[in-house]
């Protein structure tokens, strides 16, 4: 009886996350075609308080996906076009002297929003890229010594083109490590592309999209994620996967402890979205590639052999023993 009473709040919290996730999924999918997995993983990142790096070619719907998410949660949305001449103050904002009040006042930059699309983030200089670091990690920004909290929820969705590299500045490892997930949308299949034509035939379905969850509700749901139970064996499996990347000869740099925590949090979010109050090893395996691959630095010999980080990570996933349920 006591266990039943204790489990009731957990069950209610998970049911609320599952219900909200279903509504957001359906709302975003009414606009974006053939992107069920990216929608799921972006929603997991949003619930886990993480950020997403979308690495894909132009025209695959990255901006549409970001706007659809923002509208689905009734959130503010700002888009920043990253260019080589973009300055940190163009992102963070400035203090200016107001002749009306006779005092310096803060004029917010586009970073002060719930959903921030950092378009082609690798086209800005490293100095400007680094302006995002504090915002992504601390959810605050500091201007002239004054620390300003950012609105909640807060999601940075950065895009970069993996094909066109001329005139770009590769993201440093410290910046990549701040992204919870790296995703690709990809091209839709033939039926999906035909559906895109029909949906956008008259006008964009984004124009009619209405919020299905409020930002305040989403923050509350995120705060209840600790109700999702993670067995010691599953937590150890997460740690073993990350440690295996550090010990593998193919990598000069393996997954950091921040990566372990990211995989832990994202697995909780994914389990709750599926209506479960516990994490399964399959949740961890599903998230391993999008959470870990972009944090791994291949050795020069591995690159010369033509192997990608995803290939080596697949090998690690096969080698590390998956925990199984105790028959008792």
Mean per-residue pLDDT for 310-324? 92
262 inside domain? yes
> Last residue of some domain: 153, 179, 205?
179
Give the pLDDT band (50/70/90) at residue 8.
Answer: low
What is the reported pLDDT for 187?
86
Going by pLDDT thresholds of 50, 70 and 90, the confidence category of residue 305 is: confident
Q: Which of 159-163, 271-275, 300-304, 309-313 has the lowest mean pLDDT?
A: 159-163
Please determine, for residue 326, whether its predicted confidence score (pLDDT) is greater than 60.
no
Are the C-beta atoms of 72 and 27 separated by less than 8 Å?
yes
Question: Are residues 158 and 224 both part of a single domain?
Answer: no
Label residue 251 left, alpha or beta by phi (over 0 means left) and psi (-120 to 50 means alpha): beta
Is 146 within the bounds of a domain? Answer: yes
Among 77, 66, 79, 76, which residue's Cα sits nearest to residue 38? 66
Look up residue 67 and give its two tokens: 């706007």
Domain that holds residue 263: 1-24+217-322
On whether both 61 and 166 belong to a single domain, the answer is: yes
Of 14-23, 98-107, 299-308, where does the model show the most confidence? 14-23
What token pair was written down for 308? Answer: 């990608």
Mean pLDDT, rounded, for 298-311: 89
Better-predicted residue by pLDDT, 318 or 203: 318
Q: Is residue 279 part of a domain?
A: yes
Q: Is 105 helix (H, G, I), strand (E, B) or coil?
A: strand
**Residue 67 counted as domain residue:** yes
CATH number at residue 166: 3.40.50.300
Q: Which of 179, 208, 226 is the last residue of a domain?
A: 179
Q: Which tokens is 124 given?
A: 């800005």
Question: Average pLDDT, stretch 249-273?
Answer: 94
Rounded CA-CA distance 12/15 in Å is 5
Residue 166 CB-half CA count within 13 A: 0
**Has residue 235 been placed in a domain?**
yes
Question: H/E element holding 234?
Answer: helix 232-247
How much is the mean pLDDT over the chain?
Answer: 88
Quick check: is 36 in a domain?
no
> pLDDT value at position 3?
43
CA distance 96 to 98: 6
- Choose the weakest-confidence range: 40-54, 94-108, 130-144, 180-194: 94-108
Residue 325 has a pLDDT of 65
Q: Which of 157, 179, 201 is the last residue of a domain?
A: 179
Q: Is residue 296 part of a domain?
A: yes
Whether 303 has a pLDDT exceeding 80, the answer reads: yes
| pLDDT above 50: residue 328 | no
pLDDT of residue 188: 86
The CA distance from 58 to 159, in Å, is 10
Summarize the confidence of residues 119-148 as an average pLDDT. 88
State percent of the chain over pLDDT 70: 95
Q: Is the same domain home to 101 and 151? A: yes
If asked whether residues 2 and 115 sit together in one domain, one would say no
Mean pLDDT of 269-282: 95
Both 223 and 119 in a single domain? no
Which parts of the chain are beta strand (E)? Answer: 52-55, 77-81, 93-98, 103-108, 115-119, 140-143, 146-149, 155-160, 181-183, 251-253, 297-298
State whether 57 and 174 are in the same domain: yes
Q: Which of 55-59, 166-170, 213-217, 247-251 has the lowest mean pLDDT?
A: 166-170
Does residue 161 share a domain with residue 72?
Answer: yes
> At 312, which helix (H) or strand (E)?
helix 309-319
Instruction: Report the CATH number at residue 222.
Output: 1.10.8.80
Which residue would you say has higher pLDDT here, 35 or 243? 243
Assess contact for 280 and 234: CB atoms under 8 A: yes
Question: Do 165 and 237 belong to one domain?
Answer: no
Task: Clarify whether residues 56 and 171 are in a common domain.
Answer: yes
pLDDT in tens, 65-109: 989 999 999 989 999 999 999 999 899 988 887 778 887 788 888
Q: Assign residue 187 a region (left: φ > 0; alpha: ψ between -120 and 50; beta: otherwise).
A: beta
Q: Over pLDDT 90: what percentage of the chain?
A: 56
Query: Based on the domain organization, do 85 and 166 belong to the same domain?
Result: yes
- Cβ atoms of 51 and 136 closer than 8 Å: yes
Strand 115-119 vs strand 52-55: parallel, antiparallel, or unpaired?
A: unpaired
DSSP for 76-98, written as a single string = -EEEEE--TT--HHHHHEEEEEE
**Based on the structure, what is the number of domains in the chain?**
2
* pLDDT at residue 165 in the model: 66
In a domain, 240, yes or no: yes
**Non-local CB neighbours of 302 within 8 Å, separated by 6+ positions:** 250, 251, 312
Q: Are residues 250 and 316 in the same domain?
A: yes
| Residues 289 and 223 occupy one common structural domain | yes
How many CB atoms neighbour CB 274 within 10 A?
Answer: 14
pLDDT band at 224 (very low <50, low <70, confident <90, very high): very high
């Amino acid at each position: 009886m006591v266990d039943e009473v204790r489990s009731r709040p957990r069950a209610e919290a998970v049911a609320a996350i599952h219900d909200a996730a279903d509504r957001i999924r359906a709302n975003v999918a009414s606009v974006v075609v053939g992107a069920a997995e990216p929608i799921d993983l972006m929603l997991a990142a949003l619930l886990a308080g993480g950020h997403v790096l979308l690495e894909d070619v132009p025209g695959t719907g990255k901006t549409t996906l970001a706007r659809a998410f923002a509208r689905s949660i009734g959130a503010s949305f700002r888009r920043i076009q990253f260019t080589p001449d973009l300055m940190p103050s163009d992102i963070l904002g400035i203090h200016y002297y107001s002749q009306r009040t006779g005092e310096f006042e803060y004029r917010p930059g586009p970073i002060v929003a719930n959903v921030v699309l950092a378009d082609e983030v690798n086209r800005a200089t490293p100095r400007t890229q680094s302006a995002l670091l504090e915002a992504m990690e601390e959810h605050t920004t500091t201007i002239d010594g004054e620390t300003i909290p950012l609105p909640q929820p807060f999601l940075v969705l950065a895009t970069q083109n993996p094909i066109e590299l001329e005139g770009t500045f590769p993201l440093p490892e410290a910046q990549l490590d701040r992204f919870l997930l790296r995703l690709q949308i990809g091209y839709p299949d033939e039926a999906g592309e035909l559906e895109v034509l029909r949906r956008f035939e008259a006008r964009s379905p984004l124009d009619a999209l209405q919020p299905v969850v409020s930002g305040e509700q989403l923050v509350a749901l995120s705060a209840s994620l600790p109700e999702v139970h993670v067995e010691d064996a599953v937590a150890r499996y997460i740690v073993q996967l990350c440690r295996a990347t550090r010990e593998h000869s193919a990598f000069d740099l393996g997954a950091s402890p921040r990566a372990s925590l990211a995989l832990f949090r994202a697995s909780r979010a994914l389990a709750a979205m599926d209506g479960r109050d516990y994490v399964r090893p399959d949740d961890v395996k599903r998230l391993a590639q999008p959470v870990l691959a972009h944090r791994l630095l291949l050795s020069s010999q591995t690159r010369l052999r033509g192997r990608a980080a995803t290939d080596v990570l697949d090998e690690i996933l096969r080698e590390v023993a998956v925990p199984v349920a105790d028959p008792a």
